[in-house]
Every structure is written in C-alpha cells, then in structure tokens.
Amino acid sequence: MTKCLRQSDYMKLTVFYFVKRLLLTYLPFNRKAIMKSINSICIYCGSSSGRLEAYGEVGCALAKALVSRNIRLVYDGAGIGIMGRVADEVLKLGGQAIGVIPKALAHKEVAHKNLTQLHVTESMHERKMLMAELSDGFIALPGGIGTLEELFEIWTWAQLGFHNKPCGLLNVEGYYDSLIVFLDHVLAEQFVKKEQRDLLIVETNPEVLLDRYANYQAPVVRKWVGNDEI
C-alpha cells in the first residue's frame, strides 16, 4: 500500500514532533524512568549488498528476530541491497515491513513493491522525521555513507534529548571495528562525554541487541551546561 504525505500531513507531523520535543526537554520527569515497549525498529543499512555474504545473512537473522518478537520493520523502502533483503525476509516470515522513501528516490532506489505500507515523502528530511516517529529504536547494519549519515543523525538526536529511544549497530565481521576505535578516540579527546558515547549500543548478535533494547532505559544525558553552571 503506497501512501503519499501531503503538505498538511507534514505540517501536522512537524508540529507533533516539536511539541513532543518541548515536553521531553522541559517536563520535570526523570528520563531514566522511561522504558518503552518496542513494537517497531528502524533499520539503517546499505543500498548495496557489500563484499561479504555475511552482511546480508545478519540482515536476515535480524529480520527473523524481529518477526519472532512481533516487531515491525521500518526502513528506507528500497527493494535493493541489504535493505531489500531484510524487507524480503521479514515479509517472507509473515512480518510487517514499512518503507519510507522520498519521491525523488522512489525510482532510483527501486522502491519495494510488496511492502505492508510504503510512505512516499516530499523530501529526505520528511523521510527521516517520519522514520524516527514510526520507530521505537534504531539499528545500523553494514552500509555506506547514507547508512552512516542516518545512524549519526539519530544518535545526535538522542544526545540532544530529542528522543529517548535506543540506537545501536550490529558489528558484523568487524565491519564497524575501525569506527568504534575512532569513536573511542573522540571520547579520549573529550569531544564527547562517556554517557553520550554509551548511547550507541554495539553488539554482534541480533537477539542480544534486541534483548538490550527490550530492557533499555534512556539515561539522563546532558549535552549542554545550564546557565547556572557558566
């Protein structure tokens, strides 16, 4: 089923998102106490298949783990690369796969034809916002620049307190080893605090990662100092 977002839908989504953001920022509750149930997970992964078969295989293992837990897949909506493989596996196993694709990429990325639902957005920004809204957590599999960009964006939103959902990656065959080393360097050089670094959950096994998401309690992370601390 294909659904095009109208301008008014986008406005409603934007207003909802910013009201929620304001509430999250200013309401005097302790974010540590929040534990959300996980009904849908957003997967970021390559529009290519990559060099190793293992990259796609772990995508299928993740698809199986999602379906067995009755968790919906939310993803970029393409029918190609690891993305397409994960969606195919979810659908084959009887799960739900929701795609979100910008109009301009629907052809280039070869939008998947058989998804449970396909949202077609006006822009890339709308795509990312809708994917974030539709999901209770985010996982990156191996992928290229688009995957990295999406992962870093959602991680920075967590760091800023725009959402309190778990973010992580599946480090298949050491694909993300060098990135993890670099992130520890960023920590050592004091450009990120330990609690911000720890927001990114790293595992090699999909079931273990999903268990951690199921028990996730968003930590209180403060990126900015208060006026009284200056």
Dihedral, CA of residue 211, residue 212, residue 217 and residue 221, to nearest 10:
-160
The least distance separating ligand AMP from the CB of residue 127, rounded to whole angstroms, comes to: 7
When the beta carbons of 135 and 216 are compared against ligand AMP, the nearer one is 135
Q: Which of residues 186-225 bind ligand AMP (CB under 6 A)?
A: none
Q: Which is nearer to ligand AMP, 1 or 145 (CB)?
A: 145
- List the one residue out of 61, 226, 86 whose CA is nearest residue 147: 86
Residues 6+ apart with CB under 8 A from 98: 40, 72, 73, 74, 75, 115, 116, 117, 118, 119, 134
Determine the interface stretch with ligand AMP among 8-16, 44-52, 56-64, 89-97 (rule: CB under 6 A).
44-52
113 vs 194 by CB, closer to ligand AMP: 113
Q: Is 48 in the site for ligand AMP (CB under 6 A)?
A: yes
CA angle 126, 77, 90 (to 5 degrees): 135
Nearer to ligand AMP, 173 or 211 (CB): 173
Q: Is 126 in the site for ligand AMP (CB under 6 A)?
A: no
Task: Assign 3-class secondary structure to 125-141.
Answer: HHHHHHHHHHCCCEEEC
Candidates 53-61, 137-145, 154-162, 207-215; binding stretch for ligand AMP (CB under 6 A): 137-145
